[in-house]
Chains A and B, each alone.
Chain A
Amino acid sequence: MNDGSRLTLAHFAVTIIGKDRPGIVADTSEVLYALGCNVEDSSCTMLGGEFAMILIVSHGKPFSKKRLEAEFAAKNSGNGLSAFIRTLKDDEVLYREPAGELCLVSVYGSDKPGIVYRITRELADRGVNITDLNTKLIGSETEPVYVLMLEAALPQGMSADDASQLLENLKKELSVEISVRLITPVSL
């Protein structure tokens, strides 16, 4: 779809979350399908015992957020799912992915407060753009281990080694393992 045609569409960010069970995606997409909405982009996963859906949906203009909210409210009444909907402006819809090298940063070690914050603050201050991030608490109750995996686009001119260097001090300070590797897609 080119940019011109996308602007004739209304776009919404839809977040659905609730206790996991079979059928959450089917129920959600049924509402969207019945309304004639397109699911343009989505990411859905289990988090703890919850299932979380984040979707970018579009519909030919005119189409109101109220309509979408009403349909979800009707569908989700009594089923424990909550829905949050936000209208997207045209400049949010036309966003392009950053062009720098793509890295995977893995961080893990004994659980302690501040791992996510310290790592991501360091990256943010250098203009590193996180494109994907997962965290998980693993290990045993007596020795909990925190795992953070993130993918990030480096700013022009920053190498994976530079990014690794950037996080070097945090390794010692947080006593965690940190590794950075290049995962820029290969064009075949």
Chain B
Amino acid sequence: MAAKTIVIYPAPILKTPCAPVEDFDAGILEVIEDLVDSMRAGPGSVGVAAPQIGVSLRACVVDVSKNRLGKDNNHGLLLMVNPEILAKSGSAVMREGCMSVPDYTGDVERATEVTLRYREPDGATREFTATGFEAVAIQHEIDHLDGMLFLDRIGSLKTGLFRRKNYK
């Protein structure tokens, strides 16, 4: 298959919730392969969701194993169809960027542990718990399937630390 051009905001597909995958056939396999190729082609990318390559289906891939923050704590290449987060805990703030929103980054608070269930491209159900950077990356990609961008989750401006003083 091939790396696809990454769709960039304001493309409406990025703000549209994706449809669940019903048929586990050659079609979804092709989407997953394109997602992997597109992730490998993106500099430093650790995940791509289907709407980012123009496909409004609930499918995404994540691989933090080659990233400095994820190399010691990961489940390798994850091919996720219809992923659902069953439980979340912990929280950490990380400065995120996204291939679909170039030239902008922002601090986003995410859970540091997520338990999720999803289908493999062959239809098999898998359930596991991710922690740390892998958990953050998974939440970012699943957000794409719900039409959410990290811009929707930026919790504070850089001066947030000082603002708290006013609320004493």
**Chain A neighbourhood of B141, CB < 8 A:** 188
Which B residue's beta carbon lies closest to that of A149? B161
Pair B159/A45 contact, Cβ less than 8 Å: yes
Query: B151: shortest Cβ distance to chain A, in Å?
Result: 13
Please report the C-alpha to C-alpha distance between residue A187 and residue B150 in the assembled complex, in whole angstroms: 11
Please report the C-alpha to C-alpha distance between residue A151 and residue B162 in the assembled complex, in whole angstroms: 15
**Chain B neighbourhood of A186, CB < 8 A:** 46, 67, 69, 94-97, 133, 136-137
Binds A, one of B10-18, B19-27, B37-45: B37-45
Query: B3: shortest Cβ distance to chain A, in Å?
Result: 15
Pair A136/B136 contact, Cβ less than 8 Å: no
Please report the C-alpha to C-alpha distance between residue A64 and residue B152 in the assembled complex, in whole angstroms: 38
Query: A184: shortest Cβ distance to chain B, in Å?
Result: 7
Please report the C-alpha to C-alpha distance between residue A183 and residue B96 in the assembled complex, in whole angstroms: 10
Given that A45-B159, A136-B162, A151-B158 are known contacts, is A187 also in contact with B95, CB under 8 Å in the complex? no
The DSSP consensus for interface residues of chain A is strand
**Chain B neighbourhood of A124, CB < 8 A:** none
- Is B47 engaged at the interface, CB distance under 8 Å to the other chain? yes
Pair A188/B46 contact, Cβ less than 8 Å: yes
| Contact-residue size bin, chain B (C-beta under 8 Å from the other chain) | 20 to 34
Pair B162/A187 contact, Cβ less than 8 Å: no
Count of chain A residues near B, Cβ 8 A: 15
**Chain B neighbourhood of A183, CB < 8 A:** 95
Contact of B45 among A102, A151, A187 (CB under 8 A): A187
**Chain A neighbourhood of B165, CB < 8 A:** 136, 138
Which A residue's beta carbon lies closest to that of B97? A185
Pair A188/B69 contact, Cβ less than 8 Å: no
Which residues of B121-144 have CB atoms within 8 Å of chain A's CB atoms?
133, 136-137, 140-141
Query: A42: shortest Cβ distance to chain B, in Å?
Result: 12
Please report the C-alpha to C-alpha distance between residue A77 and residue B94 in the assembled complex, in whole angstroms: 44
Please report the C-alpha to C-alpha distance between residue A65 and residue B126 in the assembled complex, in whole angstroms: 63
Given that A136-B165, A138-B165 are known contacts, is A187 also in contact with B158, CB under 8 Å in the complex? no
Please report the C-alpha to C-alpha distance between residue A131 and residue B99 in the assembled complex, in whole angstroms: 22
Pair B161/A185 contact, Cβ less than 8 Å: no
**Chain A neighbourhood of B161, CB < 8 A:** 134, 149
| Pairs of residues from A and B, 3 with the lowest C-beta to C-beta distance, nearest first | A185-B105, A188-B140, A185-B95
8 contacts between A and B (CB under 8 A): A45-B159, A149-B161, A184-B95, A186-B94, A186-B136, A188-B45, A188-B136, A188-B141
